[in-house]
Structures are given as C-alpha cells and as structure tokens.
Chain A
C-alpha cells in the first residue's frame, strides 16, 4: 500500500522516528551553515557554533548583567548561588512575575464572561462594548497606556490584560451560552438559586473548556508580555533579547529563545495535566 494513502498504519517505531526527522534536519542544517560561515569568517556572530552557543548559555546563566552592580560576595558563591544571581535567572523571574500576574487577572475575566452569559441584564450591558473593545489592537494605543499606567510593571501587565482578556471573556460567554438550557432548568427545579446555578452547575461544567481556552491564549499572552518588555523595560527575557539584537549576540539570543519555548511548553503541560486531574469526566481534550 502506498505510504501516502490514508489507510496506512505506521508502526510505533517508524512513527517515532519520523516525528523526530524534521528536528534532526533543522539542527543539522543549522550547524552545517554555522560551520561554513565560520570557515569564511571565524568571528562570525550571526550563526554561532555549538561551542559558542554553549558558552553563551553558560555566560547568561552564571554571570550577572554587566550593567548591574556586582554582588559583594561574588567570589565565594556556589554554583546554585551563581545561577540565581545570573542574568538568565533574573530575567526569567522578572518576566515570569509579569506573566503570572497577567494570567491571574484572566480569572476575573472568566467570571465576567460567565455572568454575561447567564444574567440577561449583565449580558446586554457588557456584550456590545466588549465586542468592540476586542477589536482594539492594544499595541496601537501605547501612548494612552503610558499616560494611564506609566511605563513600569503596571503598564506591562495592563498591556497583557487589554490584549488577552476580551478573548477570554467572549470565549467564556460562548461556552456559557452553549450549556444546554435543560441543565439550567434542572438546576432550578432542584432548588438551586441563581448563584448556585452559575457556579455549581454552569461554571463547573465549562471549567475544563475554559482552562483549554486559557491554554490556547498563553502564546498571545507571551506575545504581549514580550512587546511590553521590548518597548520599555529594565529587565526580562524579551528585554535581554532586544538588547542583544543591537550587537548581534545570537549566541545568547538563541539559547534564550529556546529557553522561553521550553518554559511555555512546561506551563502548557502543567495546565493540561491539571485539567485532566481535576476533571476526569471531561473527554474532549
């Protein structure tokens, strides 16, 4: 049977092998290019070699930011201490703080969407405005954002919030609306009051889908975080990348990019596992 037909059943080993193929191809191509460029120009910084990448990663992880005041006891630090005062860790902590503030502020958005979907007056009051607000591209109103929130931590978190919350609100609203009306009526016939129906019937049902929606929005959240950091910041992962761009520090930029991808993957994985554990009854994802 042709390899390309729909009815084939690849065996597990072949499937596993195939899934890694593009990685292998990409990495080989990269290092081949790096080698060629370094033959021509040993000082090339655009496509660093494995050794340079390793050195860059080590330096970023273990050494503090050159522009900061060095710690007083820099000489006697253990490896773990050095890592924790290193550039990579400090940038990660700074960005992570903003990321999780932004993430936390998504939960009120979920509640808003829920109430909009269930309580008619609530819904009519908010829906039109949020549909409009959703279309405002947050980055384009930066000057207004600066005036309202300054350019420090608050404005960065607000940028994330303005960028991502409308999607979450509207998503939750739609999920709420898609709960079968029989369920809501059922709730009332069993003696539930309005808030009981909202939280113990509807929210409990849609919660796994809401979590999935948030998971899908992790990337846009990251994007807004990065935009904010690249525009005005004193620290953070995107801040560092923007800075390094100015003098082509690709040997540090590439490890940073991969590090961010790893972190995002871990957050996504955690949320997925959490969803499964909390909601074993949810079969869809």
Chain B
C-alpha cells in the first residue's frame, strides 16, 4: 500500500469510541430553512435537519442539485441563519463566519490582488496586526515568520517555491485550490468546510486533489465537511456519508435521507482487487493521474 495514497484509510470509526459529548464539534438542531419568493409564497430548502458532526470525521454531504447541501454548509459556516432551529459549534451558537471554521469555495477561493504567498499569510497577519499596527516595525519581523510558515504549507500542498510570488490568475484551477486549502489550514481551524471544492476541476486534477485532501486530513486530523454531487468522490473521501433529498414534491424541503458510516475496510477491499488487476495488467501504477 502506498502511504498517503487514496487506498490507505486510517480507522475513522475508532475515533467514535472516544467520549461522545467532548467529541461533538458541530450540532444542527431541528434546522428549517425557507425564504419568501417574489410572489409571496415560501420556498422550503431544508425541512427539519438534525445532524451531529464529531471531531476528526470526514463528512461527505451529497445530493442532487438544488437539494440544499450548500445551504447546509453555509449554516455551519455562519454565512446563513436558519429560519428555525440553531447551529452549535463547540456548544456555542454560530452567528457569523469566523476563524474556527475554515472555508474552501468552488470559485473565487483566493484573493486576486495578492500573490500566492500573501494569500496564505493573510490570515496570520490580519489576526495579529490591525490596520494601524500593520505599519509598525514589529510587523516586518513577524512577517518573515509568517512567510516561512506559509512556504512550508505551500510545499506540503505540492507546490513549488517559484509559485510563491505568482498571482492566482497565473495558476491552474488545481493549483489555486491547493493554495486555498493551505490558506485555510494555516489558521488551524476546528473544521474545514469545502463547498464543491473540486467540482470545477478536470478529472485528472480532481483525482490528485482527492489524494491530497485525504493525506492532509490524515496528517492534521482536522474535521472536514465536504459537499459534493459526485458519488464516487463522496464515498472515497468520507468516513461518513450524509445524503440530502427532498421528501416528496419539488417545492418541499430536503431532509437527511441517509446517514451512513463508510466501512473502514472499504479501501482494503478496493485495494486488494485493484492490486490484483494491476498485477494482472502488468503496469506499476494504474491509479496515477496524468
């Protein structure tokens, strides 16, 4: 088994053995989300969602287009408030986005006016230096530290030092998302929220990114909430799969249709068969991306 490859899967269920209460990171209680349309009628998006996310989980949220999975993510993020119910993070109610919950959107994930390295150092700089103290001499010393740390993150994401001073529009989609993940992780958030982060990438790049996020999750033990509409991706990446679907007519809201734990030996089985196929076909690597 190649370390760090998608075929290696640490035992996520083992984490569930720890005390449930202390382990609980995110709780969604009786969430209803609806809004008023132009003609006065109400459109329901989420209809009674209860969901717990524990530390260390990699939760894949999946569903058809329009099923409200992005809305769910935004609720946890704090960018949206529920019409009914509440969202708790570490026991406290979520009212706005903050540094505890990192975010990697599908597009516009980087600041276009900053270089790659500046994008990554943004968080640490902003946290420690306000607009005024930004111009004090102490800043420049700390900035060197921030940049060193940012370089480490860059390298971990598989990027090259020469990319550090490039601007986002000079990078490919995959590279941009790598930087975005680095940017979010450098703040050491409690949970990483990824909203269809790989959906805009081509299949080859996508496969590489899936490997990367798996590896990163393993190393940093961050909790991840991963929204996608790709079933294979959801199953491969997640330790747990939550499916949202409308319960009935188009105009009704979505509920949790399925919430299952992915068996930890899924990958072992997959790897076994894959290995046999590889051996039989005579290639050294079959799952290599281009």
Contacts and interface: CB of A to CB of B under 8 A. Distances in A.
A195 B129 CA distance: 12
B126 A191 contact: yes
B105 A186 contact: yes
B130 interface: yes
Interface in A177-196: 180-183, 185-193, 195-196
B97 A188 contact: yes
A187 B98 CA distance: 9
Interface string A192-207: 1101100111001101
A283 B170 CA distance: 11
A83 to B, nearest CB: 41
A196 B112 contact: no
Contacts of B168: 281
Chain A contact surface mostly? helix
A207 B114 CA distance: 13
A283 B112 CA distance: 11
Interface string A155-195: 00000000000000000000000001111011111111101
Given A190-B99, A281-B167, A185 B107 contact: no
A3 to B, nearest CB: 37
Contacts of A188: 78, 96-99
Contact of A189 (B77, B108, B111): B77
A191 B109 contact: no
Chain B contact surface mostly? loop
A157 B169 CA distance: 41
B111 A183 contact: yes
B187 A190 contact: yes
Contact of A191 (B78, B96, B98): B98
Most buried by A among B107, B131, B187: B131
Interface string B99-137: 101110101110111100000001100110011000000
Given A191-B123, A283-B169, A180 B102 contact: no
7 contacts: A180-B107, A183-B108, A187-B126, A189-B102, A200-B122, A204-B113, A281-B113
